[in-house]
């Protein structure tokens, strides 16, 4: 007996994704480079097409658009002709995407399809996240004095909902690692001076000054706790800047143990892959830890998505796991993530039914929580009416 729990009627809330690029180019080199996190162009040029992920994406999208499988060029030209707005309209509807929580800092807002257009053509609810490190960098460029910077950060993170955001996203993992510490005032000031020296030389700053970044993050976390706002952390696999050694979710222990942050939900992104067991463990022991299971980044085969899903659902409470695509720039990722994510979750829940752990009604309810209701509650969106 193999039970599959069909969750296709449940609208997903994609609890972590990115903007769609306004211009959808048919350039094959750029297209392939999207599907690797390597800064080395060789990966995109020679190796991406030899991955299960890329093969699946191309097969699924070719079938959707009615183009013969393997006709890469024809597919890219077809989608360029359709354009971003039509692609979003067709793909979001097909995948039944009811809401998206968007890290609006990447791709840059001036290259992105207008969020008002996205909501208008898809009917999906839209929640924006403030990407902290990028905002900190802007403020460091603007402020010559440390005390003025601290005050500006404090103002920025206060009353966030009235500024149009539903939570924060931190990319500390791409900068100085997830072991976020408390620093003495003189250490934070010395790091600020070093950051300002970079601004004087280059006109900008990459916030790789750990005592400064950690200090500013704590200001944001105190504000998040006061407003009961979720903070998403990039964990594990991702950006070329990530040092995987310092981006395990276990590095966040000091934050989980901080009593003042208990009212701040911490969302561990990307299933924490390859640290998905560690992520599932944290979600099972810390009340404010939530595990995001993400289905287009990392770029995994279906079997590996199932492994991640088994670890997540096998350990963490269903009330602590949330679906995402981590789709970025092209709407096919948001679309395929929703379809594949539902399928992987339905497969793993079916295994639990077969093992006599859940009945079918419990499995359906678990699916509804993971795909929709947990995120609706956490970010303040409306639940699927089912
Ligand atoms: Zn992301």
Task: Encode pLDDT of 22-34 as tens digits.
Answer: 999 999 999 999 9
Contact 238, 299 (CB under 8 A): no
Buried b (16+ CB within 10 A) or exposed e, 215-240: bbbbbbbbbbbebebbbbbbbbbbee
Average pLDDT on 175-204 reads: 97
Q: How far is the CA of 44 from the centre of ligand 1 (A)?
A: 19
Structure tokens at 236: 């594990």
Share of the chain above pLDDT 90, in %: 92
Q: How far is the CA of 60 from the centre of ligand 1 (A)?
A: 22
Residues ≥6 apart with Cβ < 8 Å to 81: none
Q: How far is the CA of 270 from the centre of ligand 1 (A)?
A: 8
Q: How far is the CA of 67 from the centre of ligand 1 (A)?
A: 29
Q: How far is the CA of 272 from the centre of ligand 1 (A)?
A: 12
Nearest to 137 by CA among 67, 74, 192, 61: 192
State which residues have CB under 5 angstroms from ligand 1, the bound ion: 326
Structure tokens at 216: 């500013």
Kindly report, residue by residue over 248-306, the tens digit of the pLDDT: 999 999 999 999 999 999 999 999 999 999 999 999 999 999 999 999 999 999 999 99
Cis bond upstream, residue 274 (ω within 30)? yes
Query: What are the CA-CA distances from residue 330 to residues 125, 162, 174, 226, 358 (Å)?
Result: 18, 29, 23, 35, 37
Residues comprising the chain, all counted:
386
Residue 386 has pLDDT above 70, yes or no: no
Global pTM value: 0.96
């Amino acid at each position: 007996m193999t039970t599959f729990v069909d969750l296709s009627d449940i609208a997903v809330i994609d609890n972590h994704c990115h903007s769609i690029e306004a211009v959808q180019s048919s350039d094959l080199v750029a297209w392939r480079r999207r599907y690797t996190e390597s800064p080395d162009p060789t990966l995109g040029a020679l190796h991406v097409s030899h991955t299960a992920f890329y093969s699946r994406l191309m097969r699924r999208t070719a079938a959707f658009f009615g183009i013969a499988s393997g006709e890469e060029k024809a597919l890219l030209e077809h989608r360029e002709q359709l354009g971003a707005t039509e692609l979003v309209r067709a793909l979001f509807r097909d995948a039944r995407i009811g809401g998206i929580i968007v890290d609006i800092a990447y791709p840059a807002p001036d290259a992105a399809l207008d969020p008002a257009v996205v909501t208008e053509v898809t009917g999906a609810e839209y929640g924006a996240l403030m990407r902290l490190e990028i905002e900190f960098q802007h403020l460091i460029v603007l402020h010559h004095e440390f005390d003025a910077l601290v005050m500006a950060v404090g103002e920025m993170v206060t009353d966030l909902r009235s500024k149009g955001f539903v939570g924060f996203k931190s990319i500390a993992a791409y900068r100085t690692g997830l072991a976020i510490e408390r620093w003495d005032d003189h250490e934070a000031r010395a790091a600020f001076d070093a950051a300002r020296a970079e601004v004087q030389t280059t006109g900008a700053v990459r916030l790789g000054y750990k005592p400064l970044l950690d200090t500013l993050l704590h200001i944001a976390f105190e504000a998040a706790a006061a407003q009961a706002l979720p903070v998403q952390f990039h964990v594990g696999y991702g950006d070329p800047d990530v040092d995987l050694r310092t981006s395990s979710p276990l590095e966040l222990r000091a934050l989980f143990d901080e009593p003042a942050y208990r009212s701040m939900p911490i969302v561990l992104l990307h299933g924490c892959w390859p640290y998905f067991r560690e992520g599932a463990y944290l979600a099972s022991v810390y009340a404010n830890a939530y595990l995001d299971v993400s289905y287009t980044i990392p770029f995994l085969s279906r079997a590996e998505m199932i492994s991640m899903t088994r670890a997540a659902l096998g350990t963490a409470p269903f009330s602590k796991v949330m679906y995402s695509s981590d789709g970025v720039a092209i709407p096919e990722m948001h679309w395929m993530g929703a379809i594949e994510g539902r399928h992987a979750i339905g497969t793993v829940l079916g295994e639990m039914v077969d093992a006599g752990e859940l009945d079918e009604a419990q499995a359906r309810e678990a699916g509804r929580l993971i795909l929709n209701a947990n995120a609706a509650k956490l970010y303040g969106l409306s639940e699927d009416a089912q």
